[in-house]
Structure 1
Amino acid sequence: MAEGGQQRALTTAFAPPPPLWKHFTPGNAKRLEEIKKEASKGEDGKPRKKDWSPAELRSLTLPPELRFLVPPDIPSEQYSVFGEVQNLSTALPSLEEQGINQLYPSPPNPGPNGEPSAQPAQPLNHAYYLLKISKSLLLNFLEFVGVLSIAPDQFESKVEDIRNLFINAHHLLNLYRPHQARESLIMMMEEQLSRTREEIQEMDKLKEELMSVLDQLATEGAGVESTIKAISQDDKSVVKSELQATEDSQLVWEIIDGKLDS
């Protein structure tokens, strides 16, 4: 009874978390790390740094509460989510493989050596068949309304037709998903390239402004240097004239002192 209740809980649309989440505690995580360090010690007793795979962790002797902390193996083909099996393959299965009536022709199959088939095949124009399916949906909806007004108990066949039309339209749209992903990636790369070019242009503009400022500073510095040199030359001449005047005055006083002594 308990297993049946747990199975129903796992297959619901919004299932509660499994009870094993209670074992994901900091204490259990620390204990698991200690066990891994102890198991990774070499002959010298020093722990070696090692990345443990889930299979290697499961080979260790772990307590029951720590076994839930070991991640499962990465699925290779399919996995289960809420009781529903999901495939890892990105290839879109055909409607015929799913047992659904396909309302548009399939693309031509390649030959045995990968070459196109020699038989002429009608090209698959997705837009053309999507338009036809859309018109068929409108017509079938009108017929469905008419059936409900005349014989409501005969609605099942018309509902099945509408359902088949929607599935075919949805499958045709899904065929564009790889193209959409490729175009989205191209658009993202183009936007990144344009942003990089704008940043380079801004950097070049800033470089030109800095170079102009440096040239202006160099020009102003050369003018200041020449001014300083001119001022220093003037100062030297003034000093020389003052020294000469001082010497002349000293000579005059010496002459006057000599005459007075005589």
Structure 2
Amino acid sequence: MTTDRAPLPTDDGSWASVLSAARDGGRIAPEWQSLFAPIIGAGAGKPFVIGQLGQSLDGRVATSTGQSRYINGPDCLNHLHRLRALVDVVIVGVGTVIADDPRLTVRLVDGPSPVRVVIDPRGRIPRIARMFSDASTDIVVITQDTGPLDLPSFVKVVRLPGDGKGRIDPKAIREVLFGLGYRRMLVEGGPNTVSAFLEADALDRLHLLVAPVIIGAGPAGVSLAPTDALSDARRPVTTSHRLGDEIVFDCDLRRQQAPISPE
């Protein structure tokens, strides 16, 4: 079952109340309460990890030729930047850095930019990546590579063991970042990275931003190991919010609904 909420604001008139609540513990404006209170109010004794994916109605994150800008419209892009402003770190895989060259800063709304984290098991991140030209916030590269990396001196390198297949355990990433003092974490992309965190049960919440477009073919957003029985499928308690012409599905992955029983 999905609970529908009132449409979200498409302007920043009451966004300041959310920033104030995150910073000082003030009250969130009612229109933002359902969506952002779980992030701001997450317990201090453990990490809180939220993933986000933008996709089409048929679950695609790009066309078959790889074109992905922009499936979601400006309101959903603003939502992404709001999420960045509320977390300590934003996490992406190195494939996203190579393909999209993101800055991972907060530019579209008011708020602080988070620490930027890149998961790069094999040391592929290019030194000319655009984020390296902006040292306004810290950058952490998590790798299993044991050799020297060609990175700017201000980048912090964290080395973790891999699984022999070029992957690093998402739970290990979550714990090492929490040990560095980062509690609220946003796993922004790409879809393989978000799916890996979801598969490993390393996400507390997932925001799926769905645009009213049908692409028909192309890479899927969430891709997990096969489930044989519907009774074994994940059924998170979910709230939907209209955001302009699009829908934000807020999935609480720590709360599951009971499977639907056949009549």
**Does TM, normalized by the shorter one, top 0.5?**
no
TM-score range, shorter chain: under 0.3
Q: Which protein has the bigger strand share?
A: 2
Which structure is larger by alpha-carbon Rg, 1 or 2? 1
Q: Which protein has the bigger helix share?
A: 1
Which structure would you say has the larger RCO, counting Cα contacts within 8 Å and 6 or more residues apart? 2
